[in-house]
Amino acid sequence: MVRIIPAILPQTYRGIEMSVEKVLGAVPSVQIDLVDGHLVPNQRTWLFNNKNDETIQAILDEEVAMPYWQEMNYELDLMVKDPMQYMETFIALGPSKMTFHVEGLDEAKTIEFFETLPEIIRSVISFGIALSNDTDPAMLAPYMQYVESVQCMGISRVGYQSQPYDERVIEQIKKVRSLYPDKIITVDGAVSLDTAAELVKAGAQELVVGSVVFQNTDPQGTIERLQDICNTATSQSEN
């Protein structure tokens, strides 16, 4: 079954809480998009926008956890340049998954991180790697032994929601599937009721959805409709 993962682009801790409340019970996981203002210029989210500093410190001190942490898994999409310098903070959030954007990685630092990663962390956090539609999927090769998924982008301008659909993602999915057939393929950006079926038929196994869910008056009903569309597309692909 295709996984539907709502994405939150948060400005505050309370913003995360309010968004999670809208989808609680409809999905087991949400994605938190974290943007540092460098990989994506002029865009900063919670953790990087100097808001809720006290809450962030309380999380680091293990006095506070992510909202509804007992009921919701958190996946982090790290649109961050050189994310390794912030790994202590990211890990403290208690994510079930982290996705790095290849365009922001220092290859040597990243491989060193994976090679020295304690087994206890590896046992609870899975890893993925994302690439833009302008990036050759062959560039991912050095990281493939360390990650479980590859995230293709349905938009050309990462780090912002409500962006137009970039049709190049279909060809990118096919390239990734050809090069790395054992990896889960995720698509993030411009996933909607209109694009979901095409993405699934091309090979997407996880769809990250933002504005189509959170700007809808019925977020949970929208997730159900997306899941139905994906199930139908999967059946058609198998026949």
The candidate with the shortest Cα–Cα distance to 202, out of 168, 160, 161, is 168
Q: What is the pLDDT of residue 31?
A: 98
Q: pLDDT, tens digit, for every residue of 67-118?
A: 999 999 999 999 999 999 999 999 999 999 999 999 999 999 999 999 999 9
Q: Average per-residue pLDDT in the chain? A: 96
Sequence-distant (≥ 6) Cβ neighbours of residue 133 within 8 angstroms: 152, 153, 156, 166, 168, 169, 172
Average pLDDT over residues 5-31: 97
Is the alpha carbon torsion for 170, 40, 144, 47 positive or negative?
negative
- Identify the pLDDT of residue 163: 85
Report residue 99 CA to chain centroid gap.
Answer: 6
**3-state helix/strand/coil string of 100-137:** EEHHHCCHHHHHHHHHCCCHHHHCCCEEEEEECCCCCH
How many residues would you count in the chain? 239
Which pLDDT band, with edges at 50, 70 and 90, does 162 fall under?
confident
Which pLDDT value is given to residue 55?
A: 94
pLDDT given at position 202? 97
Given this model, what pLDDT does residue 189 score?
95
CB burial of residue 145 (10 Å; 0-12, 13-18, 19+): exposed
For the stretch 123-139, pLDDT in tens is 999 999 999 999 999 99
CATH code (residue 53): 3.20.20.70
- Chain CA centroid to CA 98, Å: 7
pLDDT of residue 15: 97
Q: Using CA atoms, how far apart are residues 28 and 35, in angstroms rounded to an integer? A: 23
Domain count, the chain: 1
* Separation CA 60–CA 89 (nearest Å): 7
Question: Rounded to an integer, what distance in angstroms lies between the CA atom of residue 178 and that of residue 116?
Answer: 30
pLDDT at position 139, please? 97
Boundaries of domain holding 113: 3-238
Residue 161 has pLDDT above 90, yes or no: no
Tens digits of per-residue pLDDT, 185-211?
999 999 999 999 999 999 999 999 999
Average pLDDT of span 29-57: 94
pLDDT band at 159 (very low <50, low <70, confident <90, very high): confident
pLDDT band at 158 (very low <50, low <70, confident <90, very high): confident
* Model pLDDT, residue 204: 98
Whose tokens are 């790697």? That residue is: 129
Question: Does position 179 have pLDDT exceeding 90, yes or no?
Answer: yes
Residue 237: per-residue pLDDT: 87
